[in-house]
Amino acid sequence: MFIYKNRRSDDMGLKIEGGLTFTAPARDIEILEVQGRDGDVIIDNGRYRSVNHSLPCRIVLPPGQNLEMATTKIHDWLSTDQNYHDFIWSGDPDFTYKALVYEEYETQRVLHRYGRTVLKFRFHPIKYLTSSLEERAVSHEEIIYNPYQIEAKPLIKLLGTGDMTLYIGNQELVLRSVDRGINLDSETQTVTSFDGQRTEFDKMFSYPFPVLQPGNNLITFGENVEAMYVTARLGALIS
């Protein structure tokens, strides 16, 4: 069973044939051959590639439904847009994946209420610990532990007014003239106002955006920070 766009696959009559297995995401690199130089020059673009995966499913419908009705419902469910959505499956219940349906698929009729199809998903290379997708308060000199080998790119909300300094391990974040609070999203590389309505890059006087390194991350901040909230987004490579 899997959940996609907040709907369960078994509610749509879909049952996964076998388990889910993934090809490990490849690092996005360029390999260049340079005249007069032995070997290759490797350029690392600093990211992992998304992964395509075909998901064979059986369609088993209750009495009163037919395959034509079911395929219309499934198509409306899966193909309404081309954005990543949360994907959760029963074989890895502690993690939330990001996926989208990226190609057309066909349905094979077996009987009036039975069929087969192969759904073609494109998966974001990182799966997220579901509990780390919830916002939580963080205190001065608290440690956030990242148990995975991938840097986490958190969403940070700081409440307060004036100049602010935040340290995450040895990373320093400097903010100036904050009005009531500010939101910093290290994943989307955006800075917005307390209410989320305005872009406020002009308040940020340091770069790059902070991340949560593997292991312990000590959080400290200055006196103008009245409260801090973090959505950690701890994650591992899908495999």
* pLDDT tens, residue by residue, 218-234: 999 998 999 999 999 99
**Domain coordinates in residue numbering, the chain:** 2-124, 131-237
Task: Read off the pLDDT band of 137 (50, 70, 90).
Answer: very high
pLDDT of residue 16: 87
* pLDDT tens, residue by residue, 89-111: 988 999 999 999 876 665 655 55
Averaged pLDDT score across all residues of the chain: 88
Residue with the bigger pLDDT between 125 and 44: it is 125
Rounded Cα distance, 170 and 98, in Å: 30
pTM: 0.85
Rounded Cα distance, 74 and 66, in Å: 12
Q: Which CATH number fits domain 2-124: 2.60.40.10, 2.40.30.200, 3.40.50.300, 3.30.2130.30?
A: 2.40.30.200
* pLDDT tens, residue by residue, 4-46: 999 999 898 898 887 666 677 877 777 787 776 767 777 777 7
pLDDT of residue 5: 92
Please spell the DSSP secondary structure of 39-80, one letter per residue: S-EEEEEEEE--EEEEEEEEEE--TT--HHHHHHHHHHHHSS
Class of the domain covering 131-237: mainly beta
pLDDT at 136 over 80: yes
pLDDT at 150 over 70: yes
Strand partners, 136: 230
pLDDT of residue 181: 96
Please spell the DSSP secondary structure of 75-135, one letter per residue: HHHHSS--S-EEEEETTSTTEEEEEEE-S---EEEEETTEEEEEEEEEE-SEEEEGGGGS-
Is there a shared CATH topology between the 2-124 domain and the 131-237 domain? no
Degrees, nearest 5: CA angle 95-142-211? 55
Most confident range, picked from 28-42, 68-82, 196-210:
196-210
* pLDDT tens, residue by residue, 154-177: 999 999 999 999 999 999 999 999
